Amino acid sequence: MLSQKARYALRALVELARAEGEQLTSGELALRADAPRKFLEAILLELSRNGLVISRRGKFGGYVLSRPAAEISFAEVIRVIEGPLALAPCVSPRLGFRKCEDCEDLATCALREALLRARDATAQVLEAYSLAEAAAAPEGALRSAG
């Protein structure tokens, strides 16, 4: 399940995509994304450290996307905030396909094939869906999801 933190991150980034290069403050983003400002500021810091947004300090500071919205996928954002998309470490390239703690053997695991398919299907959808596509959706659509 997608955490509230990830939903706030996605909403804020979609609002930055809608701003089309215009710099927005954390306060403006909190209002537009319907997110608590302090919590969103921590999320924006994490997004900045991971190269998804550029932050500018000072009186005229704010945030902008680091690249065009069409180049930032939902999968990339979720991985920054949540970690791997996979449901278990045995199907996660980011975790080295290591076996689960309660698993006897990767080769004979009865769950692994289904988990691989779920990971692949999820990644395919989320990799193909960009911030630009979400920004083109009606404004209330993201708030009603989740």
pLDDT tens sequence across 21-79: 899 999 999 999 999 999 999 999 999 999 999 999 877 889 999 999 999 999 999 99
For residue range 21-34, list pLDDT tens digits in order. Answer: 899 999 999 999 99
Burial class of residue 26 in the structure, from the number of CB atoms within 10 Å of its CB (0-12 exposed, 13-18 middle, 19+ buried): buried
Cα–Cα distance for residue pair 129/116, rounded to 1 Å: 20
User: Using CA atoms, how far apart are residues 105 and 84, in angstroms rounded to an integer?
Assistant: 21
Q: Which of 77, 3, 81, 15 is nearest to 42 (CA)?
A: 81
3-class secondary structure for the chain? CCCHHHHHHHHHHHHHHHCCCCCECHHHHHHHHCCCHHHHHHHHHHHHHCCCEEEECCCCCEEEECCCHHHCEHHHHHHHHHCCCCCCHHHCHHHCCCCCCCCCCHHHCCCHHHHHHHHHHHHHHHHHCEHHHHHHCCCCHHHHCC
- Chain-wide mean pLDDT for the chain? 90
The least confident of 12-16, 40-44, 84-88, 132-136 is: 84-88
**CB atoms inside a 10 Å sphere around CB 90:** 19
Q: Which two tokens stand for residue 107?
A: 């080769």
pLDDT of residue 126: 97
Structure tokens at 35: 């997110």
